[in-house]
Amino acid sequence: MDVRYATNPDDARSYGTEELRDRYLVTDLFVPGEVRLTYSHQDRVILGGAMPIADLPLSLPVDDAVRTEYFCQRRELAVFCVDGAAAVTVDGVEYVLTGRDLLYIGRGSEQVSFAARDGLRAPKLYLCSAPAHQTHPTVLVRADQVQPINLGTEKGANRRRLHRYIDGTLVTSCQLMMGFTEILPGSVWNTMPCHTHARRTECYLYFDLAESARVVHLMGRPEETRHLIVGNEQAVISPAWSVHSGVGTSDYSFVWCMAGENYSFEDMDHVDMADLR
């Protein structure tokens, strides 16, 4: 497990490109036949990718960084199917996920494993986990169960569809919130005008990007921003003090997940465009 320690904005203002990437960018999430995990001390969020291959299921490991008997002993977990078809087995119960389906796994689930369900094609499963002090049932959410919300304008180049999976409506969790947003063709901006929320860490997984395309992800304090150049299926850890917004060289999608102090999706500290630097 890759461990990333928490950072503060006074330190981050002096980081160069490599330091920014080392601390906030998560790459190589999806490797055939492996589960890859990154532990962030920002609200103790764990990001990961599982890519099981045919006839070789993968078990969710527990690392010494967590130091529990099993991964979900004191954690909740969401599994989002980025691509392909997979079976996720939770304490003997199998759930089959296809593209854009999500499985919420509640605290106390002891055995979690992943298997391919589409012949030789290895699925890509994105994992997001946070500590939990409440137990909620495991729930499978199909992509077509989620009612999208249209946001943005063509003039602002930020037309997008927001899909909220875990936010206390379809799925209730302890503190984890998760969903994904599609940037519509002809638009390039996400979450602009941007915001912070000092009470939650938020992470983005960018996907549906062409191999040659990139997203310029903005982060840092609103009055002193920094940026990361992000490729397909790479994730960004955004500390609570940081803005999180991006502009792509083409349309794309991103999974967002949040964890922290409160449980209100609308809790945002909006930043006026004129205040960005």
Binding residues: 195, 197, 202, 244
Residues 98, 117: Cα–Cα separation, whole Å: 9
- Tell me the C-alpha to C-alpha distance, in Å, between residue 27 and each of 23, 30, 152: 11, 8, 29
Binding-site annotation, residues for Zn(2+): 195, 197, 202, 244
What is the dihedral sign for C-alpha 231, 97, 31, 108? positive
Residues 230, 33: Cα–Cα separation, whole Å: 24
Strand-pairing partners, residue 229, are 216
Residues 196, 74: Cα–Cα separation, whole Å: 27
Which among 241, 170, 244, 177 is positioned nearest to 206, based on CA atoms?
244
